[in-house]
Structure 1
């Protein structure tokens, strides 16, 4: 029973990240410009924001895909957790307190995926005998 619960957790966060990337990649320029605009009054310089905003949808897509497939699950969870910490840092710099709880929930899901990885099932990692 723990295995199916874990699969739901892994798929839930995986589908969320995959969806974030999927909807943003086709409108990459508009997404990047919007993100840069949101941070125009922050401490972060534009020369850092532009490449990050252009890479973010692809990072989200990749992390989501790995989690949905259950392949490289632990590294994907670590990568997702680090990404969430970076996003939380940015969110606090622009005082977007309404967006913070969602990012904290995503971070918690990445922690759960990492911590309870031994229950991983219906995953490419499992079929390869990777723990």
Structure 2
């Protein structure tokens, strides 16, 4: 039952991250413009915000996809946690307190997944490791 619970929690995190990236990728320039506008009055320089705004959807999409299929799961969890830490920091910089709980929940789910990584038995990782 632990394997199934891990799979379901991994899918929850994966589908959320994948979905965030998927809807942003087709409108990448518009998303970047929105994000740089949101951070215009923050202490973060645009020279950091703009590249991040282009990388974020690609990272979300890729990490989400890896979590969904269960490939490189540990690395995907760590990468997802780093993304969440950066998002949390950015959210604090613009005082968008409404977005903070969602990002913290994502981070907690990823950290719980890492804690129980030994239960990642329903995944491509298990098939790849056999070869």
What range describes the TM-score normalised by the shorter chain of this pair? over 0.9
Could you give the per-residue CA deviations for residues 12-39 of structure 1, whole angstroms, max 9, x where no partner exists? 0000000000000000011000000000
| 1:84 and 2:84 correspond | yes
Q: Which residue of 1 aligns with 2:110?
A: 110
TM-score normalized with structure 2 length: 0.96
Query: After TM superposition, what 4+ stretches of structure 1 lie above 6 angstroms from structure 2?
Result: none
Following TM superposition, by how much is the alpha carbon of 1:125 offset from its aligned partner in structure 2, in angstroms? 0.6
Q: Which residue of 1 aligns with 2:19?
A: 19
The answer for unaligned runs of 5 or more in structure 1 is none
Q: Give the whole-Å Cα distance in 2 for the aligned partners of 1:12 and 1:2.
A: 15
Q: Which residue of 1 aligns with 2:60?
A: 60
Q: Give the whole-Å Cα distance in 1 for the aligned partners of 2:94 and 2:26.
A: 26
Q: Give the whole-Å Cα distance in 2 for the aligned partners of 1:128 and 1:24.
A: 30
What root-mean-square deviation, in Å, do the aligned CA atoms of Structure 1 and Structure 2 show? 1.0
Following TM superposition, by how much is the alpha carbon of 1:121 offset from its aligned partner in structure 2, in angstroms? 2.6
State the number of aligned residues. 130
Q: How do residues 23-42 of structure 1 correspond to structure 2 at under 5 angstroms?
A: 23-42=23-42
TM-score normalized with structure 1 length: 0.96
Following TM superposition, by how much is the alpha carbon of 1:79 offset from its aligned partner in structure 2, in angstroms? 0.4
SS at match of 2:71: coil
Q: Which residue of 2 aligns with 1:74?
A: 74
